[in-house]
Amino acid sequence: MDYLGVHVNDGDDAGRSFADEYGWEFPILSDNDWQQISQWGIAGHPATILIDEFGRVAGGFYGPGDASSWDDLASNLG
């Protein structure tokens, strides 16, 4: 599964240090002013959104999520 991060608030340096702290190696888009992600209807963070192979939103949740949150998300991929 591929990951794409979208960092909001606080500038790129803060986002880079946060990603390094958690060992995230996937690409992270800089969106400090929420200009990009606000078009998705996302109004808070953290948020997780699943995009299917057809470029459609298959599900998502706010917060860090628990096991059931991820299971529900994975079930949307059939």
Partner 1 sequence: MKRLFLLALLVPAIAVACGGSDGGSDGLAEAPTAPAAPPSAEPAEPAEQESSDASGEPQGEEIGEQRSIGDTEGGDEAATDPTEPAAEPAEPAADPAEPAADPAAPREEDTSRPVAPVLVGTTLDGEPLSLEDFKGRPIIVKVFADH
Residue 61 within binding range of partner 1, rule CB under 8 A: no
Site for partner 1 in 18-37 (CB under 8 A): 18-19, 27-31, 36-37
C-beta separation of 29 from 5 below 8 A: yes
Residue 47 within binding range of partner 1, rule CB under 8 A: yes
| Residues contacting partner 1: total by CB under 8 A | 44
For the chain, state the CA radius of gyration.
Answer: 13
C-beta separation of 38 from 52 below 8 A: no
Q: Could you tell me how far CA 23 lies from the centroid of its own chain?
A: 15
Residues in touch with partner 1 (CB under 8 A): 1-10, 12, 14-19, 27-31, 36-37, 39-40, 42, 45-58, 73, 77-78
